């Protein structure tokens, strides 16, 4: 496994690999790798011949009052994990390499898909994500790229972006990996105190309760959302940011779940913002 820090070097190596006919798989990350990432690396290994992982905490996808400075940086551990999981190249650029002085071009996510859920609550977040992912795609030029289902809206946005912008990369979305008690794996789980960690699985329990109700023919979005809100609010450590059900094609909130929909939640547990989701389809 090699660690590469410059765009130029990535390009030179990838060009050679492509000349030898290798299929390039790519997993973009912000590091602090956990089992959720590992599952993405394993999918990449299965679907491609040469696996590239980027580790870059992207400043432009964090809002001014968010956790860019304190976002966990665990590069040495991440490298070991990548090596164990058959990664061939880790791209670990500096902020200056990605955003040199004078950088001024961004990818905007217009339309409903960028306006709801985290798009409404984290202004500029998806602009930052779409911009860095476009840059990384242009640098690595992979054949396939793997994203996690936990960030469902991000995955939908990237899929739409490659379609809208004719980017010739196949996007694979891989299932959410959970702790034994149901908590979705996230680098931000590291922020939780012992007390917060103990109650964190309530989010998944809330989603499960709503999903069971849906399977029992409750299709009213307001009722399903109420189930989630009630469960999460039963623990005073939580503060709900949003609970929403959107159509997975239009991304407009639905009143009744009669087409495939996404039930998505964001909630603060203390200072930590956690997200999770479930598809409402039968
Ligand atoms: O999901 C993430 O970790 C980030 O949003 C991504 C896709 C690596 C872009 O910085």
What confidence tens digit (pLDDT) does each residue in 228-260 have?
999 999 999 999 999 999 999 999 999 999 999
Q: CA-CA distances (angstroms) from residue 142 to 10, 132, 135, 137, 222? A: 11, 15, 12, 7, 42
| SS3 assignment, position 68 | coil
Ligand 1: distance of its center to the CA of 30 in Å?
A: 6
| SS3 assignment, position 206 | helix
- Which of 27, 58, 124, 185 to probe ligand 1 with, by most ligand atoms within 8 A of CB? 58
Ligand 1: distance of its center to the CA of 191 in Å?
A: 18
Is 85 annotated as catalytic?
no
241 within 8 A of 273, measured Cβ to Cβ: yes
CATH class of 187-277: alpha beta
| SS3 assignment, position 32 | coil
Ligand 1 atom nearest 136 alpha carbon: 9
20 within 8 A of 65, measured Cβ to Cβ: no
Res. 282 pLDDT band, cuts 50 70 90: confident
Q: Which of 34, 37, 85, 125 is an active site residue?
A: 37
- Give the C-alpha separation, 6 to 53, whole Å: 14
Q: Report which protein residue has its CA nearest ligand 1's atom 1.
A: 29
Ligand 1: distance of its center to the CA of 15 in Å?
A: 24
pTM recorded for the entire structure: 0.97
pLDDT tens string 113-139: 999 999 999 999 999 999 999 999 999
140 within 8 A of 54, measured Cβ to Cβ: yes
Straight-line distance from the first to the last Cα atom of the chain, in angstroms, rounded to the nearest whole number:
43
User: Quick one: tokens of 142?
Assistant: 């992979």
Q: CA-CA distances (angstroms) from residue 164 to 60, 146, 158? A: 22, 18, 10
pLDDT at 73 over 90: yes
Q: Report which protein residue has its CA nearest ligand 1's atom 2.
A: 29
Ligand 1 atom nearest 133 alpha carbon: 9
pLDDT at 49 over 90: yes
- Give the C-alpha separation, 163 to 157, whole Å: 10
Among 186, 122, 196, smallest CA distance to 149 is for 186
**What residue ranges do the domains of the chain occupy?**
2-174, 187-277
Q: In this predicted model, which residue has the larger pLDDT, 274 or 282?
A: 274
pLDDT at 275 over 90: yes
- Which of 26, 27, 30, 177 to probe ligand 1 with, by most ligand atoms within 8 A of CB? 30
Ligand 1: distance of its center to the CA of 219 in Å?
A: 33
> In the predicted model, what is the mean pLDDT of the chain?
98
| SS3 assignment, position 136 | helix
Instruction: Enumerate residues 6+ apart whose C-beta is below 8 A from 111.
Output: 251
By residue count, the chain amounts to: 282
CATH superfamily membership of 2-174: HUPs (3.40.50.620)
Phi, psi values for residue 63, rounded to 5°: -75, 165
Among 157, 147, 59, 71, smallest CA distance to 117 is for 157
Ligand 1 atom nearest 28 alpha carbon: 8
Q: What's the confidence (pLDDT) of residue 198?
A: 98
Ligand 1: distance of its center to the CA of 223 in Å?
A: 32
Ligand 1 atom nearest 56 alpha carbon: 10
280 within 8 A of 244, measured Cβ to Cβ: no
- Which of 151, 171, 184 to probe ligand 1 with, by most ligand atoms within 8 A of CB? 151
pLDDT at 22 over 90: yes
For 193: left if phi > 0, alpha if psi spans -120 to 50, otherwise beta; the answer is: beta
Phi, psi values for residue 9, rounded to 5°: -65, -40
Give residue ranges with CB within 6 A of ligand 1: 28-30, 58, 61, 129, 132-133, 151, 154
pLDDT at 168 over 90: yes
Sheet with strand 144-148: strands edge to edge: 2-4, 89-91, 50-55, 24-29, 144-148, 170-174
- Give the C-alpha separation, 49 to 44, whole Å: 8
Q: What's the confidence (pLDDT) of residue 64?
A: 95
- Give the C-alpha separation, 138 to 116, whole Å: 27
pLDDT tens string 89-100: 999 999 999 999
User: Quick one: tokens of 150?
Assistant: 């936990």
Ligand 1: distance of its center to the CA of 28 in Å?
A: 6
């Amino acid at each position: 496994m090699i660690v590469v820090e410059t765009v130029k070097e990535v390009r030179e190596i990838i060009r050679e690999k492509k000349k030898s006919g290798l299929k390039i798989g790519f997993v973009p990350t912000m590091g602090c790798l956990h089992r959720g990432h590992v599952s993405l690396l394993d999918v990449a290994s299965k679907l491609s011949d040469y696996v590239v992982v980027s580790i870059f905490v992207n400043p432009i996808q964090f809002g001014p009052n968010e956790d860019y400075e304190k976002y966990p940086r665990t590069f040495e551990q991440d490298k070991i994990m990548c090596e164990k999981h058959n990664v061939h190249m880790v791209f670990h650029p500096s902020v200056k390499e990605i955003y040199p002085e004078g950088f001024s071009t961004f990818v905007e996510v217009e339309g409903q898909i960028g306006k709801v859920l985290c798009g409404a609550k984290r202004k500029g977040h998806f602009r930052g994500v779409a911009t860095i992912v476009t840059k990384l795609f242009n640098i690595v030029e992979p054949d396939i790229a793997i994203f996690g289902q936990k960030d469902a809206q991000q995955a939908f946005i990237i899929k739409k972006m490659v379609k809208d912008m004719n980017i010739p990369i196949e996007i694979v979305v891989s299932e959410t990996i959970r702790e034994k008690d149901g908590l979705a794996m996230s680098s931000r789980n590291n922020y939780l105190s012992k007390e917060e960690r103990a109650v964190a699985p309530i989010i998944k329990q809330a989603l499960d309760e709503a999903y069971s109700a849906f399977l029992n023919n409750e299709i009213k979005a307001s009722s399903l959302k109420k189930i989630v809100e009630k469960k999460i609010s039963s623990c005073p450590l939580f503060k709900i940011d949003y609970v929403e059900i959107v159509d997975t094609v239009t991304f407009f909130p639905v009143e009744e779940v009669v087409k495939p929909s996404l039930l998505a939640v964001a909630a603060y547990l203390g200072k930590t913002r956690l997200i999770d989701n479930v598809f409402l389809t039968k």
